[in-house]
């Protein structure tokens, strides 16, 4: 074989190897981003499930604790604000995630107050519908926590993948950006003070 032919074969092999490496890297980034996007949908799904339970819970409490209208209105307002806070995954960044997290945190806060009110109404606590809704709400809160954790894990794997050299060069070239994480809300590092 001639020296020129061997050089062309080596160049062709290198080009083919680079092509497949780039193709696999790009497709890997797409697959991981889609995994993060799917996990985000799971988080939103659980928050939506919680929002769907709230009207039934408010109506049940309203029948027993009508004079707690300020708390019931706060729950309804927080739910409304949270459902209006929609995020397009492709525009997800630290600021929009923080805004979303804050709106959902307000719902959690007013729901806690609503559950505390039930302690003052023995008939409400004994109501089977209320107890069923309370169990469903507790289960949903657990699911939210699990889905948020899974989202953070998925985002971490994706972020790590796109930030490693030399993939970071392709990530920036093709517009792949880091995905933000859910973080604990301010003040959650301190246990609530309970007094009887």
pLDDT digits (tens, 9 = 90+) for 142-179: 999 999 999 999 999 999 999 999 999 989 999 999 99
CA distance 196 to 181: 37
Alpha helices in 65-164 (DSSP H): 69-84, 94-118, 122-126, 128-163
**Beta-carbon contacts of residue 34 (< 8 Å; ≥ 6 apart):** none
pLDDT digits (tens, 9 = 90+) for 67-105: 777 888 888 899 999 988 888 888 889 999 999 999 999
Band (36; pLDDT cuts 50, 70, 90)? very high
Band (15; pLDDT cuts 50, 70, 90)? very high
pLDDT digits (tens, 9 = 90+) for 16-30: 999 999 999 999 999
């Amino acid at each position: 074989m001639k020296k020129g032919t061997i050089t062309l074969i080596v160049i062709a092999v290198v080009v083919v190897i680079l092509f497949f490496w780039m193709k696999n890297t790009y497709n890997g980034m797409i697959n991981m981003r889609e995994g993060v996007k799917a996990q985000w949908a799971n988080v939103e799904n659980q928050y939506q499930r919680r929002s769907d339970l709230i009207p039934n819970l408010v109506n049940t409490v309203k029948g027993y604790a009508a004079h707690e209208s300020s708390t019931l209105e706060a729950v309804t307002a927080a739910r409304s604000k949270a459902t209006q806070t929609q995020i397009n995954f492709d525009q997800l960044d630290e600021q929009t995630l923080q805004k979303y997290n804050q709106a959902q945190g307000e719902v959690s806060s007013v729901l806690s107050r609503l559950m505390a009110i039930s302690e003052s109404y023995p008939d409400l606590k004994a109501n089977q519908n209320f107890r069923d809704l309370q169990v469903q709400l507790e289960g949903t809160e657990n699911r939210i926590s699990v889905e948020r954790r899974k989202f953070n894990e998925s985002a971490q794997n994706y972020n790590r993948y796109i930030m490693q050299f030399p993939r970071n060069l392709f990530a920036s070239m093709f517009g792949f950006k880091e995905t933000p994480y859910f973080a604990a809300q301010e003040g959650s590092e301190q246990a609530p003070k309970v007094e009887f």
